[in-house]
Chain A
Amino acid sequence: MSVLDTLIQGILLGGLYTLFAAGLALVFGIMRLVNLAHGDLIVMAAFLILYLVTGLGLNPFVAALIAMPVMFGIGWALQYFVLNRTLGPDILPPLLVTFGLSIVIQNGLLQGFSADSRRIPIGPLESASINLGPIAVGVMPLLTFASAVLVIVALNVIFYRTSLGRAFRATSDDKVTAGLMGIRPDNIFAIATGLALVVATIAALYLGARANFDPTIGPARLIYAFEAVIIGGLGSFWGTLVGGIIIGVAQTFGASINPEWQILAGHVAFLIVLLFRPRGLFPRAVD
């Protein structure tokens, strides 16, 4: 039974990694921008939620709802005023700028919130669990996974069923021609990054409620997110979910063998997938 237990815990953990990765996949899919500050932006959102919960006494879920539009605005402005200027045929400028941004955010958070390890208090939910047959499953991990699936479904609906999504795809296809069709690529890119940070806020809620965080943990979360996106095949949302689950399952199985192997096992799984499917599990047909 412990194998089944480990598998389920792994899949649920994969939900968290999917949430880390979905925003990254969205931004990369639309504008080929690799945002090295994504992990730090998640941590920033977690501090924002923490501030709303401890400072104003709000329920963490309500706090996350309030943080979402704030993070959308930050993402929109970041893309519109900073990152749009870095986009072009050369891939280096966005990498350098987001790397710098990552350092700025980390140090800004250190300045504002100190290096202490924090946690978003969620009351009794923290330890609540429900019994599924012989296995007890935590309510928070279940909520995390359900949110991840919802986010992936929502992103797919937006991407393939709405006017905004068609504009996303058209701009991703050909920015110049999109401009001639009355689309403002700068604005479309800014909306995409805003949306990515809304997803990052959801990720931040579960990150901060399930484990301790401090201003420096962003880059490590970014690596899991990257691995999930790459395993999934860059830019495919369902692929990102599968990628997140693979990393999560590998980590829990690694940990069940030896706690020191948790992180290593995730990275090894990533390398194995790359070895056999260098373009990921669900690569784009044309690129």
Chain B
Amino acid sequence: MTILALKNVSKSYGALKVTQDVSFTLEKGEALGVIGPNGAGKSTLFNLITGNVLVDAGQIEFDGRDVTRENPMARCLAGVGRTFQIPQPFDKLTVFENLVVAGAFGSSASESDVTGRCADILEQTGLGPRANDLAGGLSLLQRKRLELARALATQPKLLLLDEIAGGLTEGECVQLVDTVKSVHATGVSIVWIEHVLHALTSVVTRLLVLDFGKVIGIGEPDEIMNSKAVREIYLGIDV
């Protein structure tokens, strides 16, 4: 069953076409990786899916419903969760409060109903010891984990991960990938933008390549990585 379908989605800022006629579908429980050079329109793609940016043309369907014109809150309640490339926790709330806010409002539940689940997510993401610290005081790895934890607290059916492995050490990266794998194992569908390819390919089963806002390839990771177009973009050589 399809959880997410983009049909001929386009978006321009003035003359700059950041998304051009993008179409793809994501099956329930699938993990899709998105790669492409800087400025290819990867984060814009996420903004279009979450509703922070509205499409100029095309259609977005989520969980069998047309959400093209719905606002971010409605899409969050429908089950779209995301993390930001640059972590944006609520700095003046504690780590636990960050999750509780997301859990209660993101799934229209009362706080007492979500505290247990939020505590589980804190353990799952390794943030337990920092639960009562202000989010503003966390390290980069912890902030990235909090991004993930907070997105999980909204009980997403689809999780959009925006470069959560960027800027981390190898060891930290491995820990984070393990967390993503455990989330994926619970049946959550994932779209993951990442430059750290080995982290990406250890989780996803398909790769989508964006360049100048266009989809230039989608398929098995091996096939994509060996394709002519991708090698040209990434290695800068004519093959």
Contacts and interface: CB of A to CB of B under 8 A. Distances in A.
Contacts of A180: 50, 52, 72-73, 76, 82
B84 A182 contact: no
Interface of B: 50, 52, 71-73, 76-77, 82, 84, 88, 90-93, 97-98, 100-102, 104-108, 110-111, 136, 150, 154
Interface stretch (A80-88, A169-177, A266-274): A169-177
A259 interface: no
A176 B136 CA distance: 17
A1 interface: no
A52 interface: no
Given A163-B111, A166-B93, A181-B150, A286 B136 contact: yes
A176 B105 contact: no
Interface residues of A, number: 18
A255 interface: no
Contacts of A169: 90, 92-93, 97
A183 interface: yes
A277 interface: no
A176 B52 contact: yes
In the A-B complex, the 3 residue pairs with the smallest Cβ-Cβ separation, listed nearest first, are: A182-B106, A182-B105, A173-B90
Given A166-B97, A167-B105, A286-B136, A183 B90 contact: no
B159 to A, nearest CB: 12
Given A163-B104, A166-B100, A166-B101, A183 B73 contact: yes
A108 interface: no
Interface of A: 163, 166-167, 169-170, 172-174, 176-184, 286
18 contacts: A166-B93, A166-B101, A166-B104, A166-B111, A169-B90, A172-B92, A173-B90, A177-B88, A178-B90, A178-B101, A179-B73, A180-B52, A181-B76, A181-B106, A181-B150, A181-B154, A182-B102, A286-B91
Contacts of A177: 84, 88, 90
Nearest to A183: B105
B92 A286 contact: yes
B92 A183 contact: no
B73 A184 contact: yes
A118 B145 CA distance: 60
A147 to B, nearest CB: 28
Contacts of B102: 181-182
A179 B90 contact: no
Given A169-B93, A173-B92, A174-B90, A179 B72 contact: yes
B111 A182 contact: no
Contacts of B101: 163, 166-167, 170, 178, 181, 183
B190 to A, nearest CB: 17
A259 B14 CA distance: 65
